[in-house]
Protein backbone atom coordinates (compact mmCIF):
# COMPACT_ATOMS: atom_id res chain seq x y z
CA UNK A 1 0.00 0.00 0.00
CA UNK A 2 1.26 3.46 -0.84
CA UNK A 3 -0.07 6.74 0.39
CA UNK A 4 0.38 10.00 -1.42
CA UNK A 5 0.49 13.52 0.02
CA UNK A 6 -0.94 12.92 3.38
CA UNK A 7 -0.60 14.15 6.93
CA UNK A 8 1.07 11.66 9.27
CA UNK A 9 -2.14 11.21 11.23
CA UNK A 10 -4.05 10.14 8.14
CA UNK A 11 -1.31 7.69 7.17
CA UNK A 12 -1.43 6.08 10.56
CA UNK A 13 -5.20 5.92 10.57
CA UNK A 14 -5.31 4.17 7.22
CA UNK A 15 -2.58 1.67 8.17
CA UNK A 16 -4.23 0.79 11.44
CA UNK A 17 -7.69 0.33 10.01
CA UNK A 18 -6.50 -1.62 6.99
CA UNK A 19 -4.62 -4.12 9.05
CA UNK A 20 -7.70 -4.50 11.20
CA UNK A 21 -10.01 -5.04 8.24
CA UNK A 22 -8.47 -7.80 6.23
CA UNK A 23 -5.49 -9.67 4.86
CA UNK A 24 -4.06 -8.92 1.43
CA UNK A 25 -5.58 -10.70 -1.57
CA UNK A 26 -5.92 -9.60 -5.17
CA UNK A 27 -9.57 -8.71 -4.53
CA UNK A 28 -8.25 -6.05 -2.21
CA UNK A 29 -6.39 -4.25 -4.96
CA UNK A 30 -7.69 -0.70 -5.13
CA UNK A 31 -6.74 2.86 -5.85
CA UNK A 32 -8.61 5.87 -4.54
CA UNK A 33 -8.06 9.59 -4.44
CA UNK A 34 -10.50 11.94 -2.76
CA UNK A 35 -10.61 15.37 -1.18
CA UNK A 36 -10.67 14.03 2.39
CA UNK A 37 -8.67 11.23 4.08
CA UNK A 38 -11.76 9.85 5.82
CA UNK A 39 -13.53 9.44 2.47
CA UNK A 40 -10.56 7.61 0.93
CA UNK A 41 -10.44 5.51 4.06
CA UNK A 42 -14.13 4.57 3.65
CA UNK A 43 -13.34 3.21 0.17
CA UNK A 44 -10.76 0.85 1.66
CA UNK A 45 -13.28 -0.23 4.26
CA UNK A 46 -15.80 -1.19 1.55
CA UNK A 47 -13.23 -3.15 -0.47
CA UNK A 48 -12.18 -4.87 2.75
CA UNK A 49 -15.78 -5.94 3.29
CA UNK A 50 -16.00 -7.55 -0.15
CA UNK A 51 -17.42 -4.53 -1.98
CA UNK A 52 -16.39 -3.26 -5.39
CA UNK A 53 -15.46 0.20 -6.68
CA UNK A 54 -19.17 1.10 -6.93
CA UNK A 55 -19.76 0.32 -3.25
CA UNK A 56 -16.64 2.30 -2.49
CA UNK A 57 -18.05 5.21 -4.52
CA UNK A 58 -21.29 5.17 -2.50
CA UNK A 59 -19.29 5.24 0.72
CA UNK A 60 -16.94 7.99 -0.48
CA UNK A 61 -19.77 10.21 -1.71
CA UNK A 62 -21.70 9.80 1.53
CA UNK A 63 -18.65 10.44 3.72
CA UNK A 64 -17.77 13.56 1.72
CA UNK A 65 -21.33 14.78 2.37
CA UNK A 66 -20.45 14.64 6.07
CA UNK A 67 -16.79 15.65 6.26
CA UNK A 68 -16.68 18.18 3.41
CA UNK A 69 -20.05 19.95 3.79
CA UNK A 70 -18.78 23.00 1.91
CA UNK A 71 -18.29 20.96 -1.25
CA UNK A 72 -21.07 18.44 -1.72
CA UNK A 73 -23.83 16.68 0.17
CA UNK A 74 -27.26 15.09 0.26
CA UNK A 75 -28.70 18.50 -0.61
CA UNK A 76 -26.69 18.66 -3.85
CA UNK A 77 -26.07 16.86 -7.11
CA UNK A 78 -23.37 15.36 -9.27
CA UNK A 79 -22.22 13.11 -12.07
CA UNK A 80 -20.80 9.60 -11.63
CA UNK A 81 -18.93 8.20 -14.61
CA UNK A 82 -18.89 4.40 -14.38
CA UNK A 83 -16.95 1.62 -16.10
CA UNK A 84 -18.06 -1.95 -15.34
CA UNK A 85 -15.22 -4.44 -15.83
CA UNK A 86 -17.31 -7.56 -16.50
CA UNK A 87 -18.66 -6.29 -19.84
CA UNK A 88 -16.92 -2.96 -20.43
CA UNK A 89 -20.24 -1.10 -20.04
CA UNK A 90 -19.82 2.63 -19.49
CA UNK A 91 -22.46 5.07 -18.36
CA UNK A 92 -22.88 8.38 -16.58
CA UNK A 93 -25.27 8.63 -13.66
CA UNK A 94 -26.83 12.06 -13.93
CA UNK A 95 -27.76 13.06 -10.39
CA UNK A 96 -27.87 16.76 -11.27
CA UNK A 97 -30.40 18.93 -9.46
CA UNK A 98 -33.60 19.93 -11.26
CA UNK A 99 -35.38 23.27 -11.20
CA UNK A 100 -38.53 23.12 -9.03
CA UNK A 101 -41.84 23.01 -10.92
CA UNK A 102 -42.68 26.50 -9.65
CA UNK A 103 -39.44 27.90 -11.14
CA UNK A 104 -39.64 30.18 -14.15
CA UNK A 105 -37.26 31.88 -16.53
CA UNK A 106 -37.39 35.31 -14.91
CA UNK A 107 -37.46 34.27 -11.26
CA UNK A 108 -34.21 36.06 -10.37
CA UNK A 109 -34.99 39.30 -12.23
CA UNK A 110 -36.48 42.55 -10.96
CA UNK A 111 -39.27 44.48 -12.69
CA UNK A 112 -36.73 46.10 -15.02
CA UNK A 113 -35.31 42.72 -16.03
CA UNK A 114 -32.10 43.10 -14.03
CA UNK A 115 -30.66 40.17 -12.08
CA UNK A 116 -31.33 40.63 -8.34
CA UNK A 117 -27.95 40.09 -6.64
CA UNK A 118 -27.75 37.09 -4.32
CA UNK A 119 -31.18 35.62 -5.09
CA UNK A 120 -29.78 32.67 -7.07
CA UNK A 121 -26.94 32.07 -4.60
CA UNK A 122 -28.25 32.49 -1.05
CA UNK A 123 -31.15 30.81 0.73
CA UNK A 124 -33.64 28.15 -0.37
CA UNK A 125 -34.87 29.98 -3.49
CA UNK A 126 -31.44 29.23 -4.99
CA UNK A 127 -31.74 25.47 -4.44
CA UNK A 128 -32.54 22.89 -7.08
CA UNK A 129 -34.11 19.54 -6.18
CA UNK A 130 -31.23 17.37 -4.88
CA UNK A 131 -29.98 14.36 -6.84
CA UNK A 132 -27.25 12.91 -4.62
CA UNK A 133 -29.53 10.77 -2.39
CA UNK A 134 -31.27 9.18 -5.41
CA UNK A 135 -27.93 8.61 -7.13
CA UNK A 136 -26.38 6.90 -4.09
CA UNK A 137 -29.37 4.54 -3.97
CA UNK A 138 -29.18 3.90 -7.73
CA UNK A 139 -25.44 3.22 -7.64
CA UNK A 140 -25.75 0.77 -4.75
CA UNK A 141 -28.79 -1.05 -6.20
CA UNK A 142 -27.65 -1.36 -9.81
CA UNK A 143 -23.86 -1.67 -9.55
CA UNK A 144 -22.77 -2.39 -5.98
CA UNK A 145 -22.35 -5.73 -4.23
CA UNK A 146 -23.08 -4.50 -0.72
CA UNK A 147 -26.42 -3.25 0.64
CA UNK A 148 -26.81 0.52 0.87
CA UNK A 149 -27.07 0.16 4.64
CA UNK A 150 -23.47 -1.14 4.66
CA UNK A 151 -22.00 1.45 2.33
CA UNK A 152 -23.62 4.32 4.26
CA UNK A 153 -22.20 3.10 7.58
CA UNK A 154 -18.95 5.13 7.55
CA UNK A 155 -20.87 8.34 6.77
CA UNK A 156 -23.40 7.70 9.52
CA UNK A 157 -20.54 7.04 11.94
CA UNK A 158 -18.71 10.30 11.13
CA UNK A 159 -21.93 12.32 11.24
CA UNK A 160 -22.90 10.86 14.63
CA UNK A 161 -19.49 10.68 16.33
CA UNK A 162 -17.95 13.72 14.66
CA UNK A 163 -14.59 14.47 13.12
CA UNK A 164 -11.98 17.18 13.52
CA UNK A 165 -12.38 20.00 11.04
CA UNK A 166 -9.53 21.08 8.72
CA UNK A 167 -8.26 24.47 7.62
CA UNK A 168 -10.24 24.34 4.38
CA UNK A 169 -13.48 24.04 6.37
CA UNK A 170 -12.60 27.16 8.36
CA UNK A 171 -11.60 29.13 5.28
CA UNK A 172 -14.75 28.32 3.29
CA UNK A 173 -16.98 28.84 6.32
CA UNK A 174 -15.48 32.32 6.82
CA UNK A 175 -16.23 33.06 3.17
CA UNK A 176 -19.92 32.14 3.62
CA UNK A 177 -20.32 33.29 7.22
CA UNK A 178 -23.20 35.80 6.69
CA UNK A 179 -25.30 33.21 4.85
CA UNK A 180 -24.63 30.51 7.44
CA UNK A 181 -25.48 32.95 10.24
CA UNK A 182 -28.80 33.77 8.61
CA UNK A 183 -29.90 30.11 8.68
CA UNK A 184 -30.43 29.14 12.37
CA UNK A 185 -30.16 25.40 11.64
CA UNK A 186 -26.94 25.90 9.65
CA UNK A 187 -25.43 28.16 12.32
CA UNK A 188 -26.24 25.63 15.06
CA UNK A 189 -24.39 22.89 13.20
CA UNK A 190 -21.40 24.54 11.55
CA UNK A 191 -20.52 27.39 13.90
CA UNK A 192 -19.22 27.38 17.45
CA UNK A 193 -21.42 29.83 19.36
CA UNK A 194 -22.02 31.83 16.20
CA UNK A 195 -18.32 31.99 15.24
CA UNK A 196 -16.02 30.12 12.92
CA UNK A 197 -14.71 27.29 15.12
CA UNK A 198 -11.08 27.15 16.20
CA UNK A 199 -8.70 24.59 14.72
CA UNK A 200 -9.13 21.21 16.40
CA UNK A 201 -12.91 21.61 16.80
CA UNK A 202 -15.05 18.49 16.37
CA UNK A 203 -18.04 18.79 14.02
CA UNK A 204 -20.91 16.51 15.04
CA UNK A 205 -24.05 16.27 12.87
CA UNK A 206 -26.63 14.09 14.68
CA UNK A 207 -29.54 15.23 12.47
CA UNK A 208 -27.57 14.35 9.34
CA UNK A 209 -26.76 10.94 10.86
CA UNK A 210 -30.51 10.32 11.26
CA UNK A 211 -31.24 11.54 7.71
CA UNK A 212 -28.56 9.17 6.37
CA UNK A 213 -30.01 6.35 8.46
CA UNK A 214 -33.47 6.91 6.93
CA UNK A 215 -31.85 6.75 3.48
CA UNK A 216 -30.15 3.49 4.50
CA UNK A 217 -33.41 2.07 5.87
CA UNK A 218 -35.88 3.14 3.17
CA UNK A 219 -33.81 3.93 0.07
CA UNK A 220 -34.90 6.95 -1.99
CA UNK A 221 -38.20 7.11 -0.08
CA UNK A 222 -36.12 7.77 3.04
CA UNK A 223 -35.22 11.17 1.60
CA UNK A 224 -37.81 12.16 -1.01
CA UNK A 225 -40.81 11.08 1.11
CA UNK A 226 -41.74 10.65 4.78
CA UNK A 227 -40.04 12.43 7.64
CA UNK A 228 -37.08 13.88 5.71
CA UNK A 229 -39.27 15.24 2.91
CA UNK A 230 -41.72 16.77 5.39
CA UNK A 231 -38.92 18.54 7.23
CA UNK A 232 -37.28 19.74 4.00
CA UNK A 233 -40.52 21.17 2.60
CA UNK A 234 -41.58 22.79 5.87
CA UNK A 235 -38.29 24.67 6.25
CA UNK A 236 -37.92 25.58 2.60
CA UNK A 237 -41.44 26.99 2.39
CA UNK A 238 -41.10 28.91 5.66
CA UNK A 239 -37.93 30.60 4.32
CA UNK A 240 -39.42 31.64 0.98
CA UNK A 241 -38.47 28.62 -1.14
CA UNK A 242 -40.69 27.02 -3.80
CA UNK A 243 -40.14 23.25 -3.45
CA UNK A 244 -43.17 20.93 -3.44
CA UNK A 245 -43.73 17.25 -2.68
CA UNK A 246 -44.33 16.77 -6.41
CA UNK A 247 -40.79 18.01 -7.09
CA UNK A 248 -39.40 15.41 -4.70
CA UNK A 249 -41.66 12.66 -6.13
CA UNK A 250 -40.58 13.52 -9.68
CA UNK A 251 -36.83 13.41 -9.08
CA UNK A 252 -35.15 10.70 -11.21
CA UNK A 253 -31.54 9.70 -11.75
CA UNK A 254 -30.86 9.47 -15.49
CA UNK A 255 -28.26 7.16 -17.01
CA UNK A 256 -26.67 8.90 -19.98
CA UNK A 257 -24.22 7.72 -22.61
CA UNK A 258 -20.82 9.31 -21.96
CA UNK A 259 -19.21 11.54 -24.59
CA UNK A 260 -16.31 9.75 -26.33
CA UNK A 261 -13.38 11.01 -28.35
CA UNK A 262 -9.76 10.27 -29.18
CA UNK A 263 -6.57 12.29 -28.97
CA UNK A 264 -3.27 11.00 -30.32
CA UNK A 265 -4.01 7.35 -29.47
CA UNK A 266 -5.79 8.11 -26.18
CA UNK A 267 -9.45 7.20 -25.81
CA UNK A 268 -11.41 9.77 -23.79
CA UNK A 269 -14.64 9.02 -21.95
CA UNK A 270 -16.20 12.20 -20.63
CA UNK A 271 -19.32 13.55 -18.98
CA UNK A 272 -22.52 13.87 -21.01
CA UNK A 273 -24.92 16.80 -20.97
CA UNK A 274 -26.13 18.48 -18.80
CA UNK A 275 -22.41 18.68 -18.16
CA UNK A 276 -20.46 20.67 -20.70
CA UNK A 277 -17.36 18.72 -19.65
CA UNK A 278 -17.19 15.83 -22.10
CA UNK A 279 -18.15 17.92 -25.13
CA UNK A 280 -15.74 20.69 -24.15
CA UNK A 281 -12.80 18.35 -23.59
CA UNK A 282 -13.31 16.38 -26.80
CA UNK A 283 -13.78 19.59 -28.76
CA UNK A 284 -10.58 21.12 -27.31
CA UNK A 285 -8.59 17.94 -27.94
CA UNK A 286 -9.92 17.71 -31.51
CA UNK A 287 -8.71 21.25 -32.12
CA UNK A 288 -5.32 20.58 -30.54
CA UNK A 289 -4.64 17.17 -32.06
CA UNK A 290 -2.93 18.57 -35.17
CA UNK A 291 -0.26 20.33 -33.10
CA UNK A 292 2.66 18.47 -31.55
CA UNK A 293 2.21 20.08 -28.15
CA UNK A 294 4.91 17.92 -26.55
CA UNK A 295 7.56 19.21 -28.94
CA UNK A 296 6.36 22.80 -29.29
CA UNK A 297 7.78 25.67 -27.15
CA UNK A 298 5.94 26.54 -23.91
CA UNK A 299 4.54 29.91 -25.02
CA UNK A 300 3.09 28.54 -28.26
CA UNK A 301 1.66 25.53 -26.43
CA UNK A 302 -0.13 27.75 -23.92
CA UNK A 303 -1.29 30.11 -26.62
CA UNK A 304 -2.82 27.25 -28.63
CA UNK A 305 -4.49 25.71 -25.58
CA UNK A 306 -5.91 29.14 -24.70
CA UNK A 307 -7.25 29.66 -28.22
CA UNK A 308 -8.88 26.20 -28.15
CA UNK A 309 -10.49 26.96 -24.79
CA UNK A 310 -11.78 30.32 -26.03
CA UNK A 311 -13.66 28.57 -28.85
CA UNK A 312 -14.91 25.75 -26.60
CA UNK A 313 -16.40 28.14 -24.02
CA UNK A 314 -17.94 30.20 -26.80
CA UNK A 315 -19.78 27.13 -28.06
CA UNK A 316 -20.71 26.23 -24.50
CA UNK A 317 -22.53 29.56 -24.17
CA UNK A 318 -24.17 29.28 -27.58
CA UNK A 319 -25.37 25.70 -27.68
CA UNK A 320 -25.32 23.80 -24.40
CA UNK A 321 -28.10 23.05 -21.93
CA UNK A 322 -30.26 20.18 -20.65
CA UNK A 323 -30.69 17.74 -23.59
CA UNK A 324 -34.13 16.73 -22.28
CA UNK A 325 -35.33 20.29 -22.93
CA UNK A 326 -33.37 21.59 -25.91
CA UNK A 327 -31.75 20.16 -29.03
CA UNK A 328 -27.98 20.30 -28.80
CA UNK A 329 -25.90 19.52 -31.91
CA UNK A 330 -23.60 17.21 -29.90
CA UNK A 331 -22.33 15.08 -32.80
CA UNK A 332 -21.44 18.20 -34.77
CA UNK A 333 -19.64 19.81 -31.83
CA UNK A 334 -17.47 16.74 -31.21
CA UNK A 335 -16.84 16.03 -34.90
CA UNK A 336 -13.14 16.36 -35.89
CA UNK A 337 -14.14 18.19 -39.10
CA UNK A 338 -15.96 20.84 -37.09
CA UNK A 339 -12.85 21.20 -34.91
CA UNK A 340 -10.74 21.57 -38.06
CA UNK A 341 -12.89 24.58 -38.99
CA UNK A 342 -12.33 26.15 -35.57
CA UNK A 343 -8.60 25.37 -35.81
CA UNK A 344 -8.37 27.16 -39.13
CA UNK A 345 -9.27 30.42 -37.32
CA UNK A 346 -6.33 30.06 -34.91
CA UNK A 347 -3.13 31.97 -35.72
CA UNK A 348 0.12 31.00 -34.09
CA UNK A 349 1.35 34.60 -34.07
CA UNK A 350 -1.66 36.37 -32.59
CA UNK A 351 -4.61 35.84 -30.21
CA UNK A 352 -8.15 36.33 -31.41
CA UNK A 353 -10.10 38.79 -29.23
CA UNK A 354 -13.26 37.12 -27.89
CA UNK A 355 -15.23 40.10 -29.15
CA UNK A 356 -14.59 38.73 -32.65
CA UNK A 357 -16.60 35.68 -31.61
CA UNK A 358 -19.33 37.75 -29.96
CA UNK A 359 -20.08 40.89 -27.85
CA UNK A 360 -18.22 41.93 -24.70
CA UNK A 361 -19.71 40.93 -21.39
CA UNK A 362 -18.97 41.92 -17.75
CA UNK A 363 -16.78 39.74 -15.59
CA UNK A 364 -17.20 38.10 -12.22
CA UNK A 365 -15.15 36.22 -9.66
CA UNK A 366 -14.58 32.47 -9.50
CA UNK A 367 -15.27 30.08 -6.62
CA UNK A 368 -13.49 27.37 -4.71
CA UNK A 369 -15.58 24.38 -3.86
CA UNK A 370 -17.29 21.18 -5.04
CA UNK A 371 -15.49 17.82 -4.84
CA UNK A 372 -14.14 15.05 -7.03
CA UNK A 373 -13.05 11.49 -6.30
CA UNK A 374 -11.61 8.68 -8.40
CA UNK A 375 -11.71 5.02 -7.45
CA UNK A 376 -10.85 1.75 -9.22
CA UNK A 377 -10.83 -1.82 -7.92
CA UNK A 378 -8.71 -4.83 -8.79
CA UNK A 379 -11.31 -6.16 -11.25
CA UNK A 380 -11.14 -2.95 -13.23
CA UNK A 381 -14.45 -1.37 -12.17
CA UNK A 382 -13.96 2.33 -11.96
CA UNK A 383 -15.78 5.51 -10.96
CA UNK A 384 -14.97 9.16 -11.57
CA UNK A 385 -17.43 11.33 -9.67
CA UNK A 386 -17.72 15.10 -9.32
CA UNK A 387 -20.31 16.22 -6.79
CA UNK A 388 -21.42 19.67 -5.80
CA UNK A 389 -23.60 21.99 -3.78
CA UNK A 390 -22.21 24.75 -6.05
CA UNK A 391 -20.94 27.66 -3.99
CA UNK A 392 -19.09 26.92 -0.71
CA UNK A 393 -21.74 25.55 1.69
CA UNK A 394 -24.24 25.82 -1.17
CA UNK A 395 -27.09 28.20 -0.41
CA UNK A 396 -25.96 28.40 3.23
CA UNK A 397 -29.39 27.09 4.22
CA UNK A 398 -30.05 23.97 6.30
CA UNK A 399 -33.56 22.58 6.58
CA UNK A 400 -34.41 22.32 10.30
CA UNK A 401 -33.97 18.84 11.76
CA UNK A 402 -32.36 17.31 8.65
CA UNK A 403 -28.73 18.40 8.85
CA UNK A 404 -28.91 18.79 5.06
CA UNK A 405 -27.35 21.88 3.54
CA UNK A 406 -29.18 22.89 0.38
CA UNK A 407 -27.37 23.59 -2.88
CA UNK A 408 -27.48 26.88 -4.80
CA UNK A 409 -27.11 25.18 -8.15
CA UNK A 410 -29.93 27.32 -9.66
CA UNK A 411 -27.17 29.89 -10.24
CA UNK A 412 -25.74 27.58 -12.92
CA UNK A 413 -28.74 28.44 -15.10
CA UNK A 414 -28.57 31.64 -17.10
CA UNK A 415 -30.92 33.98 -15.29
CA UNK A 416 -30.99 36.30 -18.28
CA UNK A 417 -29.38 35.82 -21.70
CA UNK A 418 -26.01 37.56 -21.61
CA UNK A 419 -25.83 37.67 -17.80
CA UNK A 420 -22.92 35.95 -16.11
CA UNK A 421 -23.17 33.57 -13.17
CA UNK A 422 -21.05 33.44 -10.05
CA UNK A 423 -18.16 31.89 -12.04
CA UNK A 424 -18.35 34.61 -14.69
CA UNK A 425 -19.82 32.11 -17.15
CA UNK A 426 -22.05 33.48 -19.80
CA UNK A 427 -24.88 31.69 -21.53
CA UNK A 428 -28.22 32.14 -23.16
CA UNK A 429 -31.55 30.57 -23.90
CA UNK A 430 -30.28 26.96 -24.16
CA UNK A 431 -29.54 27.18 -20.45
CA UNK A 432 -32.53 29.32 -19.39
CA UNK A 433 -34.53 28.25 -16.32
CA UNK A 434 -37.56 25.99 -16.90
CA UNK A 435 -39.54 23.79 -14.47
CA UNK A 436 -37.91 20.36 -14.06
CA UNK A 437 -34.89 21.32 -16.18
CA UNK A 438 -31.27 20.52 -15.21
CA UNK A 439 -28.80 23.40 -15.15
CA UNK A 440 -25.69 23.23 -17.32
CA UNK A 441 -22.55 22.15 -15.48
CA UNK A 442 -18.79 22.15 -16.03
CA UNK A 443 -18.15 19.11 -13.86
CA UNK A 444 -15.93 16.77 -15.85
CA UNK A 445 -15.33 13.31 -14.41
CA UNK A 446 -13.12 11.65 -17.02
CA UNK A 447 -11.56 8.31 -18.03
CA UNK A 448 -8.53 8.04 -20.31
CA UNK A 449 -7.12 4.91 -21.86
CA UNK A 450 -4.27 4.07 -24.23
CA UNK A 451 -2.45 0.82 -24.88
CA UNK A 452 -0.41 1.10 -21.70
CA UNK A 453 -2.52 2.94 -19.15
CA UNK A 454 -5.97 3.72 -17.79
CA UNK A 455 -6.59 7.00 -15.96
CA UNK A 456 -9.46 8.26 -13.81
CA UNK A 457 -9.51 11.97 -12.98
CA UNK A 458 -11.49 15.11 -12.25
CA UNK A 459 -11.57 18.22 -10.07
CA UNK A 460 -13.80 20.91 -8.60
CA UNK A 461 -13.29 24.52 -9.69
CA UNK A 462 -16.44 25.96 -11.28
CA UNK A 463 -15.91 27.26 -14.78
CA UNK A 464 -12.21 26.29 -14.63
CA UNK A 465 -12.92 22.57 -14.28
CA UNK A 466 -12.76 21.87 -18.01
CA UNK A 467 -9.44 23.64 -18.49
CA UNK A 468 -7.92 21.91 -15.46
CA UNK A 469 -8.93 18.48 -16.72
CA UNK A 470 -7.68 19.42 -20.20
CA UNK A 471 -4.25 20.30 -18.76
CA UNK A 472 -4.28 16.96 -16.91
CA UNK A 473 -5.07 15.09 -20.14
CA UNK A 474 -2.31 16.88 -22.05
CA UNK A 475 0.10 15.96 -19.25
CA UNK A 476 -1.05 12.31 -19.50
CA UNK A 477 -0.36 12.57 -23.25
CA UNK A 478 3.16 13.81 -22.44
CA UNK A 479 3.69 10.49 -20.64
CA UNK A 480 3.49 11.79 -17.07
CA UNK A 481 1.67 10.18 -14.13
CA UNK A 482 -0.96 11.28 -11.56
CA UNK A 483 1.52 13.13 -9.33
CA UNK A 484 2.22 15.39 -12.25
CA UNK A 485 -1.38 15.80 -13.55
CA UNK A 486 -2.62 17.04 -10.19
CA UNK A 487 0.31 19.42 -9.77
CA UNK A 488 0.69 21.02 -13.20
CA UNK A 489 0.57 24.82 -12.96
CA UNK A 490 -2.85 26.02 -14.10
CA UNK A 491 -4.06 28.62 -16.55
CA UNK A 492 -7.49 29.11 -18.06
CA UNK A 493 -9.55 30.94 -20.63
CA UNK A 494 -13.35 30.87 -20.80
CA UNK A 495 -14.09 33.16 -23.76
CA UNK A 496 -15.58 35.84 -21.49
CA UNK A 497 -13.83 37.50 -19.69
CA UNK A 498 -11.28 37.80 -22.49
CA UNK A 499 -8.23 37.11 -20.36
CA UNK A 500 -5.89 34.25 -19.61
CA UNK A 501 -6.44 33.58 -15.92
CA UNK A 502 -3.53 31.84 -14.18
CA UNK A 503 -2.84 30.76 -10.65
CA UNK A 504 0.16 32.20 -8.79
CA UNK A 505 3.09 30.40 -10.40
CA UNK A 506 0.88 29.11 -13.20
CA UNK A 507 2.86 30.86 -15.93
CA UNK A 508 6.57 31.70 -15.91
CA UNK A 509 7.66 35.29 -16.54
CA UNK A 510 8.90 34.22 -19.97
CA UNK A 511 5.48 32.72 -20.74
CA UNK A 512 3.70 35.83 -19.47
CA UNK A 513 5.80 38.04 -21.73
CA UNK A 514 5.37 35.71 -24.68
CA UNK A 515 1.60 35.50 -24.31
CA UNK A 516 1.29 39.25 -23.88
CA UNK A 517 3.19 39.74 -27.13
CA UNK A 518 0.65 37.52 -28.86
CA UNK A 519 -2.09 39.87 -27.68
CA UNK A 520 -3.41 38.04 -24.62
CA UNK A 521 -4.66 39.88 -21.54
CA UNK A 522 -3.32 38.17 -18.43
CA UNK A 523 -4.85 37.97 -15.00
CA UNK A 524 -3.36 36.24 -11.95
CA UNK A 525 -5.90 34.65 -9.59
CA UNK A 526 -5.61 35.41 -5.88
CA UNK A 527 -5.08 31.75 -4.96
CA UNK A 528 -4.05 28.41 -6.47
CA UNK A 529 -7.25 26.72 -7.58
CA UNK A 530 -8.60 23.20 -8.02
CA UNK A 531 -8.46 19.97 -6.05
CA UNK A 532 -7.79 17.23 -8.61
CA UNK A 533 -8.02 13.58 -7.55
CA UNK A 534 -6.52 11.11 -9.99
CA UNK A 535 -5.37 7.53 -10.41
CA UNK A 536 -3.68 5.43 -13.05
CA UNK A 537 -3.58 1.70 -13.82
CA UNK A 538 -0.43 0.47 -15.56
CA UNK A 539 -1.66 -2.37 -17.75
CA UNK A 540 1.60 -4.23 -18.29
CA UNK A 541 2.87 -4.01 -14.75
CA UNK A 542 -0.57 -4.60 -13.23
CA UNK A 543 -0.21 -1.84 -10.69
CA UNK A 544 -1.82 1.41 -9.61
CA UNK A 545 -0.49 4.87 -8.95
CA UNK A 546 -2.62 7.74 -7.62
CA UNK A 547 -2.35 11.31 -6.41
CA UNK A 548 -4.30 13.98 -4.60
CA UNK A 549 -3.92 17.65 -5.52
CA UNK A 550 -1.23 19.33 -3.39
CA UNK A 551 -3.50 22.40 -3.23
CA UNK A 552 -6.07 20.52 -1.12
CA UNK A 553 -6.31 18.34 1.98
CA UNK A 554 -7.13 15.07 0.23
CA UNK A 555 -5.54 11.66 0.25
CA UNK A 556 -4.62 9.11 -2.41
CA UNK A 557 -4.16 5.50 -1.42
CA UNK A 558 -3.17 2.49 -3.51
CA UNK A 559 -3.00 -1.19 -2.72
CA UNK A 560 -1.16 -3.18 -5.32
CA UNK A 561 -1.24 -6.58 -3.62
Q: What is the C-alpha separation between 538 and 217, in angstroms, rounded?
A: 39
The verdict on 388 binding ligand DON (CB under 6 A) reads: yes
Q: Is 442 annotated as a binding residue?
A: yes
> CB under 6 A: which stretch of 176-184, 240-248, 356-364, 458-466 binds ligand DON?
458-466
CB of 366 to ligand DON, least distance (A): 7
Residues 6+ apart with CB under 8 A from 334: 259, 261, 279, 282, 283, 286
Answer for which of 72, 374, 390, 395 binds ligand DON (CB under 6 A) is 390
Contact 396, 179 (CB under 8 A): yes
What would the x/- binding string for ligand DON be over residues 209 to 238, using CB under 6 A? Answer: ------------------------------
**45 versus 503: smaller Cβ distance to ligand DON:** 503
Residue 6 · residue 37 · CB < 8 Å: yes
Quick one: which segment of 59-67, 308-316, 367-375, 509-517 binds ligand DON (CB under 6 A)? 367-375
* Cα 258 → chain centroid: 16
Told to check if 549 binds ligand DON by CB under 6 A, we report no
CB 39 within 8 A of CB 553: no
Active site residue 370: yes
Are 544 and 480 a contacting pair, CB within 8 Å?
A: no
CB of 190 to ligand DON, least distance (A): 18
Beta-bridge partner residues of 385: 80, 373
Binding to ligand DON in span 410-429, by CB under 6 A: 412
Residue 200 CA to residue 215 CA, distance in Å, equals 30
> Shortest approach of ligand DON to residue 367 CB, angstroms?
4
Q: Considering the rule CB under 6 A, would residue 461 count as an interface residue with ligand DON?
A: yes
Q: Which of 67, 70, 92, 71 is nearest to 82 (CA)?
A: 92
Q: Which long-range contacts link 355-359 to residues 24+ away (Cβ below 8 Å)?
A: 355/498, 357/310, 357/311, 357/314, 357/495, 358/314, 358/317, 359/418
Q: Which of 460, 472, 506, 554 binds ligand DON (CB under 6 A)?
A: 460
Q: Which of 6, 269, 370, 446 is catalytic?
A: 370
**Which CB sits closer to ligand DON, 371 or 560?**
371
Q: What is the DSSP letter of 539?
A: T
Segment interacting with ligand DON (CB under 6 A) among 58-66, 211-219, 262-270, 365-373: 365-373
Least gap, CB of 371 to ligand DON (angstroms): 8
Residue 388, annotated as binding a ligand:
yes
**CB within 8 Å of 428: residues ≥ 6 apart:** 317, 318, 414, 417, 418
- Binding residue numbers for L-glutamate: 96, 388-390, 412, 441-442, 462
- Binding residue numbers: 96, 388-390, 412, 441-442, 462
Q: Which residues bind ligand DON (CB under 6 A)?
A: 367-370, 388, 390, 409, 412, 441-443, 460-462, 465
Amino acid sequence: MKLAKTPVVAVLAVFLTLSAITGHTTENKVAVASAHPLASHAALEMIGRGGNAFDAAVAIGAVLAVVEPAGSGLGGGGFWLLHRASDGFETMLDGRETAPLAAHQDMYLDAEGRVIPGLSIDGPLSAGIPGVPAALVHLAEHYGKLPLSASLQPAIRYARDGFIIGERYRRLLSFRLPQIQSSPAAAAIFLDNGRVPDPGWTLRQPDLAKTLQRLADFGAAGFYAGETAEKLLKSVKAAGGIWSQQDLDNYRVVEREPVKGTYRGIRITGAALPSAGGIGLVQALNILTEYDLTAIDAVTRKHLVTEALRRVYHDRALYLGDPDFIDVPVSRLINPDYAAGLRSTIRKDRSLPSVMLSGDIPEQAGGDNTTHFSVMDGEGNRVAATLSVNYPFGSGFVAEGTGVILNDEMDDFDSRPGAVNVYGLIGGLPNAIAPGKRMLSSMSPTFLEDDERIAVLGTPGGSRIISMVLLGILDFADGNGPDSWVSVPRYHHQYIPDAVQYEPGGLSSEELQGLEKLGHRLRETSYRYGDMQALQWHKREGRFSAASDPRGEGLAVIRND
